[in-house]
Amino acid sequence: MKGVAIVGAGQSIFSRSCGMSVRELSFEAYQEAMAGLNISRKDIDASIICSAPEYDKQRTAAALISEYLELTPAPTFYVESVCSSSSAGLRVAWSLIKSGLHQIVTVIGFQKMSELTSPEAAERMSRGDDIMFGSPLGTSMPAGYAMYARAHMAKYGTTEPDLAAIRVKNSGYGAMNTKATYRKALSLEEILGSDVVCSPLKRYDCCANADGASCIIVASAEKAKKITDKPVWVAGIGMATSELNLSARESLTNLSCVREAARQAYQMAGSGPEDIDVAEVHDCFTIAELMAYEDLGFARPGEGAKLLRDRQTYLGGKIPVNVDGGLLSKGHPIGATGGSQIRTIVKQLRGEAGETQVENARFGLIHNIGGVGTYANITILTR
C-alpha cells in the first residue's frame, strides 16, 4: 500500500485570550505549515476543519475558514471528537488519500475558548458526559480524572507528589516553548501548595483552556516527495472508543480505549513501545500522563510513577514524553490540541526541535484523548 506523509505542520501561539478571530488563528497555523513547501493553495484538494462546536459562536466554521484560506472550491469536511478532533482529522485525511479520492489534504484544528466565561466552558465540558446520568451528578472533567487518580492511588499507592512531579517536568520544558501559554518552571512545592480543584487534583495538576489553532498538511507518497525533502510518514494509526458512562467501564486505573488504539497503531506500524523514541501524550491532568505511560506500554501497570522518578520520561531518558511542555504548559484549545502534538513529533523527526531535540529520533507517538477517556487516537510517525 502506498504511503501517506505529513509534509507540513504548524500552530499558532496558544494563549488565554488571543484577541483574534478563529479565521486569523487558523491562518497563523496554516502559514507556518505551508512555509518552505513546493505547493500553492490551489494544490490542496480538500480541507478538514476540526473543533468542538459547542464552544464556537460561528456556525459552519469549516466553510468560513476554508474560504478565508482560499481553499475553496475544494471540498471541506468537519470532524469532531472533542479534545481529539484534529487527530481524528488526520485519520480522515489518511483515509481520503488512501482511497485515492484526494492527494493533498490540510487538517486545521482550532478553538477560541476565551469567547466563553470559565463557568460557561466548564458547563459545556461537563456535557461531554451523559447528560441524563452523568453530568447532572457533577462528573466534570476535573471530577472524572480525580476519580481515576483516586483509583490509581488506592490500587498502586500512587501519591500526590508523584502527580506533581509530572507538572514539574512539563513546566520545565514548557518554559522553553515560545508557543506555550505558560512558560514558567514550577517547583514541586508550588504545585503541591496550589489550590485544590477536585481532590486530589490541584490547580497545577490541571491544564488550562486556551485559544489556538494547528495545521497539518498531508499528502500521498507520490506528491509528498515533490513537495518537501523532509516528509514524515504515517506508520500506524489506531482509534477506539470507551463507554461514555464511567460506571460502565471495567477499570478506573486505565483507559481501555487507549490500550486498544495503541494495539492497532503498533500492529500497523510493525513496532512496539520499545521502538518509540519520543512521545506526546494527552496530559490534560497529571494523572492522565501517568496512565498513558502504562496504557501505551512504556511502563507496567502501577509502575508509571517509577518511570518518571527514574527520569526515563525526560530528555536523555528511555522515552522522553511531552518535551514541548504538554497541555499542562501549552494550554488546551480543544480542536487544535492533537494537531499541536503532531507538529511537535514532526519537528522531532525532522531534527528541528532545538534545545528539546531527542537525539536520532526515528519513531514518534502521539496519544490524543477526547472527553474523560472516551475517545483515543494513537498515531505513530516515522522519518
CATH number at residue 49: 3.40.47.10
pLDDT at 2 over 70: no
Q: Known catalytic residues?
A: 83, 332
Question: Over the chain, what is the mean pLDDT?
Answer: 95
Q: Which domain holds residue 23?
A: 4-117+209-227
Residue-wise pLDDT tens digits, 305-355: 999 999 999 999 999 999 999 999 999 999 999 999 999 999 999 999 999
Domain for residue 57, yes or no?
yes
Residue-wise pLDDT tens digits, 104-159: 999 999 999 998 887 887 777 777 777 777 777 767 889 999 999 999 999 999 99
- Coil, strand or helix at 321: strand
pTM for this predicted structure: 0.96
Average pLDDT, stretch 161-167?
Answer: 98
Q: Which of 170, 135, 147, 137 minimizes the C-alpha distance to 287?
A: 147
Number of structural domains found in the chain: 1
Domain for residue 55, yes or no?
yes
Cα–Cα distances (Å) from 11 to 63, 160, 253, 271, 367, in that order, read: 20, 33, 33, 29, 18
The pLDDT value given to residue 120: 82
The pLDDT value given to residue 1: 43
Average pLDDT, stretch 240-265?
Answer: 94
Domain for residue 148, yes or no?
no
Domain for residue 113, yes or no?
yes
Neighbours of 366 (CB within 10 A): 27
